[in-house]
Structure 1
């Protein structure tokens, strides 16, 4: 498996991730909870750019900053940007280089799947 392929258990965690294997299910569960609790929309702006519309609450911004900072530390190819286009809205832009588009594909699919279950 190359360093940018998705693991066979349908998780979006690539082999390039430096998070210890034993901690990956916990991080995946954190993202699943995040998708369930705060993601209000999933928009693919380009092959390398995903935008998640989030609940605009202050604690959501804090949670998003914490989760994305921890994810960036182990999967450095992700670029996460939080913004408030309006006072009551919050957006999380997720970008990857071309070599990791498949990871972004899987992340987007997981976010949509989890949102649809809720």
Structure 2
């Protein structure tokens, strides 16, 4: 049985998520807004590792830290690492264990599709 559910709007929500069902559409909207506003590029480094290249602004860093902290609290299988490779850029590495690659696949597709709508 799969560990994530794809809704009719192609939203990714893993069954392992402990976020209350009523709050999930709001979190998805937050991720969509973050992808649209902050993500400048992405690389799938491996099946279990996605790197998002972000706008380097301070507000983006604060938003990324807040969003990933809240997501980690309900979907503990995610590992998020935010770094500044240089003074002007910001990267967000998203890793999952092998058992949750399908969730990372869905998140990657969501980030790509939201970015392409702009």
Interval containing the TM-score (normalised by the shorter chain): over 0.9
Offset of 1:12 from its aligned partner?
1.0
Q: Where does structure 1 differ by over 4 angstroms across 4 or more consecutive aligned residues?
A: none
Matched with 2:105 is 105
Matched with 1:84 is 84
CA distance in 2, matches of 1:32, 1:25: 10
CA distance in 1, matches of 2:105, 2:93: 14
Which residues of structure 1 form unaligned runs of 5+?
Answer: none
Aligned-partner SS, 1:13 = strand
Aligned-partner SS, 1:87 = coil
Matched with 1:38 is 38
Taking structure 1 as the reference length, what is the TM-score of the superposition?
0.96
* C-alpha RMSD of matched pairs (Å): 0.9
Matched with 2:51 is 51
Taking structure 2 as the reference length, what is the TM-score of the superposition?
0.96
